[in-house]
Structure 1
Amino acid sequence: MTSTVKKTLEEAKFSPPVFDSCPHLKQILTSNAKDTVYRNYGLAVNVALALKLRNGNIPLYKTSDGSKVEYKKLARLRNKAVRCRECLESLSCTYFCLQCSHVGCWKNGHASAHTKSTGHVFGIDSQTGYIFCFRCGDYVGDQRLEFIRQSKQGERTEPIMNNLGTETIIDGSRPPSLKASTGLRGFINMGATCFMSSIVQTIVHNPFVRDYFLSGYHAKCTKKMDTCITCCIDEIFKVFYGTDETKGYGPTALLTAAWRVKNSLAGYSEQDAHEFWQFLLDEIHKSDTELHPELDDTSTCRCITHKTFAGQLQSTVTCEKCLHSKNTVDPMLDLSLEIAKISKDKVTLNDCLDLFTSKEKLDSMTICSHCKKETTRTKQLLVRKLPPILAFQLKRFEHSASSSTKIETHVGFPLFLDMEPYTVSETLNSNEQGRASWGLMTYQLFAIVIHIGSVNTGHYICIIKNRDGNWFKFDDSRITLVSQDYVSKSNAYLLYYILCQA
């Protein structure tokens, strides 16, 4: 057997590349410099993945004299190697140049600045070992390079030497590919279906919903897929997290089922993403309670929809004469916020929440049931119970009998949101106080849905934060890594926050 055939058989045992190639990568890998590229890539990936094995074990290393290297010492060596050469940044994503020894950060733009000044096109992600093409602005892949990357991640049993002066001495195993485990895959636009794709991406990357579907809770459903929305979502989870396919997924079954279940969705006209999100959650709720009737309690539903998104909103109406108050508690799955019209330059999500929870004077006079006098009243809305996932809709669309308009005001939003100022702080019952009953009230942003364009002719995209802390933009079938600055500047329509764990 020739060495070429043997190498091909070895590479066939590994998962295919996570990302497609590009003209620039193809050009350099067919040039005389290809052997140098493969060698440099192997050295860089050794450093990037020095502390990671795909089977979850902690790798063990030894020096040339056979003595073991402490994990903490190895971590210090790696952290020094991945620092940005300009600002010494190492906590966020940095890139090894594939064509020289430079290391630059994404956060402060030093990686892209190096590309512009030297013409060196490719950077190797110091956290994952993936190759980023700065000319294309996207991650790219190649079968041979992916073989090298997976080999360095504990997927072969022979020792691996690296430029930290150490050698791996632990055997590896081969679980599902990283691509399959992260669910990074786009949707093919089937004709004005971007509203659907963006919402489903927020569901696919929601950890609570993901665990529900991947645990097989919907597997007992006997309905046909073209009539069951939840079966279609279940299939998407299986495909996104259980296969190595990287090309865009055509949501034909979901589209067909949506048309059958809800007539207003039929056709190829643009739909509202928020309305589809509400529809999707309701369908998942119905399916879950049909399969598991014990979940649908008369007072509190314990289906995956309500366990994940349901909170409580308290409305307090107060008499302005005797100050007697009456509380009404209603369920909520999200908060729809008016965009605050204020004089200062920047409007923020907190401004919108301040407006939502501010006291409103009711116009009509009425007889107070407590003091029996004619009086005016105030009304205030506050959150009584917070859900694990807190969803916001910013009301960008205004409709009247004669016209519809879109509010383009940029609303700044925090990556971390403290909800305590917008919640009921009184004692909920005789045994526990509100804050103690809810736990922490700090949320972290993990998903954004954005509407681009006008009311009638627009396009939806979404941005998702993955488990590694990287932000990815999903534009139908195209997925690109974006910076935190790009995220902050986006014109959000829907925002999804997850409760921080103590």
Structure 2
Amino acid sequence: MFIVVRLNLNVLKAQFLILSRVCVCVCVCVCVCVCVCVCVCVCVCVCVLHRHLPPPHLLTPHCSSSSFLDGADNTLLPGISAPWQQNPNRPGENKAVSSSHSYTIDLLYGGIYCFMCQDYVYDKDMEQIAKEEQRKAWKMQGIGEKYSTWEPTKRELELLRHNPKRRRITSNCTIGLRGLINLGNTCFMNCIVQALTHTPLLRDFFLSDRHKCEMQSNSCLVCEMSQLFQEFYSGHRSPHIPFRLLHLVWTHARHLAGYEQQDAHEFLIAALDVLHRHCKDDNGKKANNPNHCNCIIDQIFTGGLQSDVTCQVCHGVSTTIDPFWDISLDLPGSSTPFWPLSPGGDGSALNGESHTSGATTLTDCLRRFTRPEHLGSSAKIKCSGCHSYQESTKQLTMKKLPIVACFHLKRFEHSAKLRRKITTYVSFPLELDMTPFMASSKESRMNGQYQQTVDPFNNDNKYSLFAVVNHQGTLESGHYTTFIRQHKDQWFKCDDAIITKATIKDVLDSEGYLLFYHKQFLEYE
């Protein structure tokens, strides 16, 4: 009895083990089948999508590729956060590390944004497509056709009379104010763009569609500035992405290429130079000679600086006149000799001893800029009257003033032994009279004493401040911002994409690096 029961239990155990193993095998087979089915479905979907999707360089671009400055055929340019490495095949060439990132496209402005790099990238094909579509849209709207003044038809006059939705520009209107995205240490470019876009005559020129480009390529900086003015005064409030402008600046000014911190003054001169070369004067001639040019850049920014070299023996004067776009002024605290306004009892002003105190205003800096300078015995110049090398004095004055005067306060000092930023405060006025510094002005200097005679009713040389560029930080690491003036003397601070309202006190209390003044009265020929 007991033996039979024991045998039956052993049989049941054996059957249970066999059944459990069979179940495990069945489960494994089912899982394998499911995985195979999933893989097959995924492969089918990938094949279908691959057949219907656009080319890879338009769908899944790589944020990093070779620099466009090297003329490579790669599609995208690196963003500010893309890692860089040295190209072993071409020493000295920067090349980005290749990686596949996700991105999105701004359908309104055409900008491409990389989520991984958190930056905007530039794509040649997308830019070409956007340009073609833009030309079609402009053609439909009549933009780019031959300029002519608008004369309303009878129908348009009737509509204007009965239009109930008229809008007026009020004191609260801020048209023309728009932030600029920082593309990686590009605040030096953004601050100059803000100053240029708020230059009244330059604004009127570009918004009137006066520029007619005949360049075959898309490398005209004047065309890009024209488009930039359209963007600024279109009424849009979202920050603008100046990637196309940065690309053209890098193309035409190779020394500014890269994402390192650059000098705003250096960018201003480079931008004016490229715009000058791409412009044509009123007679349709290329602007190749800065001394005889009538392009819009020279009409607004070019002045004439007169240099008089006087022989100390025969008192003969040699005069030269050179064009200028800006006036660079030395500051107290620099290693450059800084003469006092009144002569010292020991004659130090004539002996060449430097002084670092006294000048606290823009007018003081201009006085020193236009004072006679004794060249010394080590810098003798051959006199045309004496026919020999003699000691002489040199004096700079303004022969012709530009419509827009830009004053550069030399805060960055570079020398073989010293590199530093000069933080000396220099006060500057809202209104500036340049008459005392003109070559034709009635002024006398006796024993170093500065005297002047100014006609209070002469408004030909009076200027008004409309933009101030400031630099915060050190020489190695800093940031640029701009104060700009709108209508009715409203001031705003432009800090890349952020624009805030400012007071006149905020402007005048700022350190000041580049000061932009506009003539109050214009003469038309």
Query: TM range, normalised to the smaller chain?
Result: 0.5 to 0.7
Pick aligned residue for 1:268 from 254, 259, 262 = 259
5+ long unaligned stretches in structure 1: 1-154, 158-169, 428-434
Deviation at 1:262, TM superposition (A): 2.3
TM-score, normalised to structure 2, is 0.57
Q: Which amino acid aligns with 1:352?
A: C
SS at match of 2:313: coil
Partner of 1:316: 308
Counterparts in 2 of 1:232 and 1:297: CA distance versus 1, 3 Å: closer
Partner of 1:501: 521
CA distance in 1: counterparts of 2:496 and 2:363, whole angstroms: 30
1:123-202 to 2 correspondence within 5 Å? 173-174=166-167, 182-202=175-195
Partner of 1:462: 482
5+ long unaligned stretches in structure 2: 1-159, 333-337, 339-354, 443-454
Q: Describe the superposition over 1:320-345 as per-residue Cα deviations: whole angstroms up to 9, x where unpaired.
A: 12221111111111111111456657
Pick aligned residue for 1:335 from 327, 334, 337 = 327
CA distance in 1: counterparts of 2:187 and 2:204, whole angstroms: 25
Counterparts in 2 of 1:458 and 1:213: CA distance versus 1, 3 Å: same
Deviation at 1:290, TM superposition (A): 8.6
CA distance in 1: counterparts of 2:469 and 2:425, whole angstroms: 14
Deviation at 1:494, TM superposition (A): 0.4
Instruction: Tell me which of the two structures has the higher relative contact order, counting C-alpha pairs closer than 8 angstroms and 6 or more residues apart.
Output: 1
- 1:442 corresponds to 2:462: yes
Contact 2:484–2:493 (CA under 8 A) maintained in structure 1? yes
Q: What's the Cα RMSD here?
A: 3.0
1:96-115 to 2 correspondence within 5 Å? none
Counterparts in 2 of 1:291 and 1:180: CA distance versus 1, 3 Å: farther
Contact 1:411–1:492 (CA under 8 A) maintained in structure 2? yes
Q: Describe the superposition over 1:36-63 as per-residue Cα deviations: whole angstroms up to 9, x where unpaired.
A: xxxxxxxxxxxxxxxxxxxxxxxxxxxx
Counterparts in 2 of 1:392 and 1:367: CA distance versus 1, 3 Å: closer
Deviation at 1:309, TM superposition (A): 0.5
Q: Which amino acid aligns with 1:267?
A: G
Pick aligned residue for 1:217 from 210, 220, 228 = 210
Counterparts in 2 of 1:201 and 1:322: CA distance versus 1, 3 Å: same
Partner of 2:247: 256
CA distance in 1: counterparts of 2:471 and 2:292, whole angstroms: 34
Contact 1:156–1:172 (CA under 8 A) maintained in structure 2? no
Partner of 2:8: none
Contact 2:381–2:391 (CA under 8 A) maintained in structure 1? yes
Partner of 2:201: 208
Counterparts in 2 of 1:216 and 1:311: CA distance versus 1, 3 Å: same
CA distance in 2: counterparts of 1:223 and 1:458, whole angstroms: 39
- 1:413 corresponds to 2:408: no
Contact 2:282–2:295 (CA under 8 A) maintained in structure 1? no
Pick aligned residue for 1:396 from 411, 415, 419 = 411
Deviation at 1:265, TM superposition (A): 2.2
Counterparts in 2 of 1:292 and 1:195: CA distance versus 1, 3 Å: farther
Contact 1:202–1:447 (CA under 8 A) maintained in structure 2? yes
Counterparts in 2 of 1:156 and 1:268: CA distance versus 1, 3 Å: farther
SS at match of 2:229: helix
Q: Which amino acid aligns with 2:246?
A: L
Partner of 1:304: 296
Q: Describe the superposition over 1:62-116 as per-residue Cα deviations: whole angstroms up to 9, x where unpaired.
A: xxxxxxxxxxxxxxxxxxxxxxxxxxxxxxxxxxxxxxxxxxxxxxxxxxxxxxx
Partner of 2:232: 240
SS at match of 1:339: coil
- 1:326 corresponds to 2:339: no
Q: Which amino acid aligns with 2:296?
A: I
Counterparts in 2 of 1:486 and 1:181: CA distance versus 1, 3 Å: closer
Q: Which amino acid aligns with 1:308?
A: I
CA distance in 1: counterparts of 2:258 and 2:173, whole angstroms: 32
Q: Describe the superposition over 1:248-274 as per-residue Cα deviations: whole angstroms up to 9, x where unpaired.
A: 111111112222222222221111111
Counterparts in 2 of 1:183 and 1:401: CA distance versus 1, 3 Å: same
SS at match of 1:268: coil
CA distance in 2: counterparts of 1:353 and 1:379, whole angstroms: 15
Counterparts in 2 of 1:187 and 1:179: CA distance versus 1, 3 Å: farther
Q: Which amino acid aligns with 1:370?
A: G
SS at match of 2:280: helix
Contact 1:220–1:291 (CA under 8 A) maintained in structure 2? no
Deviation at 1:288, TM superposition (A): 1.3
Counterparts in 2 of 1:291 and 1:445: CA distance versus 1, 3 Å: closer
CA distance in 1: counterparts of 2:245 and 2:179, whole angstroms: 15
TM-score, normalised to structure 1, is 0.60
SS at match of 1:182: coil
Contact 2:281–2:296 (CA under 8 A) maintained in structure 1? no
Structure with greater Cα Rg: 2
Counterparts in 2 of 1:474 and 1:224: CA distance versus 1, 3 Å: farther
Pick aligned residue for 2:507 from 475, 487, 499 = 487
Partner of 2:81: none
Q: Which amino acid aligns with 2:390?
A: T
SS at match of 2:270: helix
Counterparts in 2 of 1:280 and 1:236: CA distance versus 1, 3 Å: same
Counterparts in 2 of 1:369 and 1:445: CA distance versus 1, 3 Å: same
Q: How many aligned positions are there?
A: 326
CA distance in 1: counterparts of 2:375 and 2:383, whole angstroms: 13
Aligned sequence identity (%): 39
Partner of 1:352: 365
Pick aligned residue for 1:387 from 394, 399, 402 = 402
